[in-house]
Amino acid sequence: MRSLRTALSLASLVTGALMLFTAPAAHAADTPLRDLAAAKGKIVGTAVTGSKLTGTYGDIAGAQFSSLTPGNAMKWGSVEPTQGSFNWTEADQIVAFAEAHGQQVRGHTLVWHNQNPSWLTNGSWTSAQLSSLLQNHISTEVGRYKGRIAAWDVVNEPFNEDGTYRSTLWYNGLGADYIANALTWAHAADPAAKLYINDYNVEGVNAKSTALYNLVKSLKDRGVPIDGVGLQAHLILGQVPSTLQQNIQRFADLGVDVAITELDVRMALPADSAKLAQQAADYKSVVAACVAVARCVNVTVWGFADSDSWVPSTFPGYGAATPYDDNYAPKPAYYGIAEALGGTTTPPPSTDGCTAAYSVTNQWSTGFTGEVRIACSGASLSSWKVNWTYGAGQQVTQAWNATCTQSGAAVTCANASYNGTVPDGGSVTFGFNGSWSGSNPVPTVTLG
Ligand code: G2I
């Protein structure tokens, strides 16, 4: 079981320092998702948390994706926790990271019923006051990032499941025209940004998506600036709506862009290989539906790693909803996305049942000797690769019983010609010498 196997297994002390960490297999496809997407004329994005944009998380966010959506940082409650006192720190950080990595930003979100500041939700406002608060909020936030945000989720989740308007602060105080006004104000603040209405459970053709369709049509007819619809796509394993592509197409035919804005596919935990395979098929079919429609411009996942997903805390017992596991190893879902984007790489053979354990067997003032043991139980391997990233500038200087290469902090070791086979119930080891200074922390190792 992946979730069990991926738990850092143990840290023990034997003759000095012997620490074992195990993690599952995988290699990302050779071509990053963003390059595959670009070749199809698409953008592929992820929601991110600003404070995490360093280390492996930052490396993946920067290398694999061509668009970032702040998961929370641009919401009203985040940017103006006290009336008139703003905190743009995380939002600025995400926008700067995106610019440094040649990425678009999807701004999320200006008008919503959730994650508003308490001064706003607890206040009692006349409709004129509410309207002016909303206009100021939109002008301030959109204006701050003018020219730097590709698309804004201007209005988020305006509908009930039956297609009636959701009863919110905005609808109740301002009527349905809050939507047209918000779009108009956003357009005034940044005429170049693409303006979206974003909702969930609108992926297939149903009452809610038809209400959204009718709204977009009437906004277009009235000349209100509306450029796109966001289909959030918080999906359940095996339940990609069969009418997804047809639904995307009908919005495109209205003359607006479509984005899959918050894709994830949750499953009952624990994950197993059958569920992960179904999840890969689900991701693949969602991305393929977008690829099939020219005006579907962006597929964004709502967090790229299971450890960064909103799902487990909202749906107890569910999770494993994203394309990377808790240790940032790509899951079958990652390869499903890559394949839908035309990638030809195939996932490495499953190493379920096999683990790699890294240990320091000897250490002196400037150097150390390390060993990695690859062991299988209930599985076997005919070849293997082990990867890790050093956290403290260590350098592999020499290896035996494997071929090791190091690029920056990233080390990859592949089996020698004579020890690729690891039988069920057996293990092989390889060793290496390395240099260190300051500290010599044990890295997390992945097997593929
Ligand atoms: O709920 C999933 C998404 C549905 N569509 C709109 C999205 O904006 C929404 O995102 C989620 C965030 O991913 C969560 O991270 O929105 C949630 C709130 O409705 C976010 O959860 C909140 C928690 O409820 C807070 O307790 C926490 O302080 O995240 C906050 C920051 O971590």
Q: Give the 3-state secondary structure of residue 122.
A: coil
Contact (Cβ atoms closer than 8 angstroms) between residue 247 and residue 295: no
The better pLDDT of the pair 160, 354 is held by: 160
Asked if residue 235 belongs to a domain, the reply is yes
157 a catalytic residue: yes
Cα(107) to centroid of ligand 1, in Å?
A: 15
Contact (Cβ atoms closer than 8 angstroms) between residue 174 and residue 130: yes
Given a cut of 70, whether residue 234 has pLDDT beyond it is yes
Where is average pLDDT lowest: 83-92, 156-165, 269-278, 342-351?
A: 342-351
Given a cut of 60, whether residue 117 has pLDDT beyond it is yes
Asked if residue 410 belongs to a domain, the reply is yes
**One domain, residues 371 and 322:** no
pLDDT at 21: 36
Given a cut of 60, whether residue 20 has pLDDT beyond it is no
What is the pLDDT averaged over residues 273-289? 97
Given a cut of 90, whether residue 350 has pLDDT beyond it is no
Considering its fold, how many domains does the chain have in total? 2
Question: Any residues with Cβ below 6 Å from ligand 1, and which?
Answer: 71-72, 114-115, 156, 200, 232, 262, 310
**One domain, residues 375 and 317:** no
Query: Which residue, among 109, 213, 188, 113, has the nearest Cα to 151 in the 3D structure?
Result: 109
Cα(60) to centroid of ligand 1, in Å?
A: 22
DSSP calls for 246-263: HHHHHHHHTT-EEEEEEE
CA distance 262 to 42: 16
Structure confidence at residue 351 as a pLDDT band (50, 70, 90): confident
Asked if residue 12 belongs to a domain, the reply is no
Given a cut of 70, whether residue 346 has pLDDT beyond it is no
Asked if residue 5 belongs to a domain, the reply is no
pLDDT at 22: 36
**One domain, residues 311 and 436:** no
pLDDT at 347: 60
- 125 Cβ contact partners less than 8 Å away, ≥ 6 residues apart: 133, 173
Query: Which residue, among 295, 112, 285, has the nearest Cα to 198 in the 3D structure?
Result: 112
80 a catalytic residue: no
Contact (Cβ atoms closer than 8 angstroms) between residue 320 and residue 275: yes
In the block, residue with structure tokens 């005919």 = 382
Structure confidence at residue 215 as a pLDDT band (50, 70, 90): very high
Asked if residue 8 belongs to a domain, the reply is no
| pLDDT tens track for 291-328 | 999 999 999 999 999 999 999 999 999 999 999 999 99
Please tell me which residue in 90, 141, 203, 262 is annotated as part of the active site. 262
**One domain, residues 331 and 383:** no
Cα(314) to centroid of ligand 1, in Å?
A: 9
Asked if residue 184 belongs to a domain, the reply is yes
Residues linked to residue 103 through DSSP beta bridges, in sequence order:
none
Percent share of the chain, pLDDT over 70? 92
Which structural domain range is residue 391 located in? 17-22+350-447
Cα(87) to centroid of ligand 1, in Å?
A: 18
| pLDDT tens track for 409-437 | 989 999 999 999 999 999 999 999 999 99
pLDDT at 408: 86
CA distance 236 to 276: 12
- 132 Cβ contact partners less than 8 Å away, ≥ 6 residues apart: none
φ, ψ of residue 253 to 5 degrees: the values are: -70, -20
Given a cut of 50, whether residue 90 has pLDDT beyond it is yes
**One domain, residues 239 and 93:** yes
Please tell me which residue in 80, 141, 157, 339 is annotated as part of the active site. 157
Asked if residue 113 belongs to a domain, the reply is yes
Q: Of the candidates 340, 374, 400, which is a domain's last residue?
A: 340
First to last CA, the chain: 16
Asked if residue 1 belongs to a domain, the reply is no
pLDDT at 5: 32
Q: Of the candidates 340, 361, 392, which is a domain's last residue?
A: 340
**One domain, residues 323 and 362:** no
Output the domain CATH number for residue 376.
2.60.40.290
Query: Which residue, among 149, 136, 55, has the nearest Cα to 95 in the 3D structure?
Result: 149
Structure confidence at residue 26 as a pLDDT band (50, 70, 90): very low
| pLDDT tens track for 236-259 | 999 999 999 999 999 999 999 999
pLDDT at 148: 98
Percent share of the chain, pLDDT over 90? 86
| pLDDT tens track for 145-154 | 999 999 999 9
Q: Of the candidates 307, 340, 373, which is a domain's last residue?
A: 340
**One domain, residues 50 and 155:** yes
**One domain, residues 263 and 379:** no
pLDDT at 417: 93
Given a cut of 70, whether residue 6 has pLDDT beyond it is no
Strands of the sheet containing 354-363, edge to edge, are 354-363, 367-376, 427-435, 395-400
Atom of ligand 1 minimally distant from the CA of 232: 5
Output the domain CATH number for residue 284.
3.20.20.80
Give the 3-state DSSP-derived string for 170-188, with helices as H, strands as E and coil as C: HHHHHCCHHHHHHHHHHHH
**One domain, residues 334 and 355:** no
**One domain, residues 209 and 282:** yes
> 367-376 and 151-156: which strand pairing?
unpaired
pLDDT at 214: 98
Mean pLDDT of the chain: 92
Given a cut of 50, whether residue 225 has pLDDT beyond it is yes
Where is average pLDDT lowest: 151-160, 327-336, 350-359?
A: 350-359
Protein residue closest via CA to atom 9 of ligand 1: 71
H-type helices in 307-446, by residue range?
Answer: 311-314, 332-340
**One domain, residues 390 and 330:** no
Given a cut of 60, whether residue 24 has pLDDT beyond it is no
The better pLDDT of the pair 232, 9 is held by: 232
Handedness of CA 22, 25, 27, 33 (dihedral sign): negative
Q: How many CB atoms lie within 10 A of CB 99?
A: 12
**One domain, residues 309 and 358:** no
Residue of 264, 310, 313, 314 with the most ligand 1 atoms within 8 Å of its CB, for mutation: 310
pLDDT at 30: 79
What is the pLDDT averaged over residues 219-235? 98
Q: DSSP code of 51?
A: G
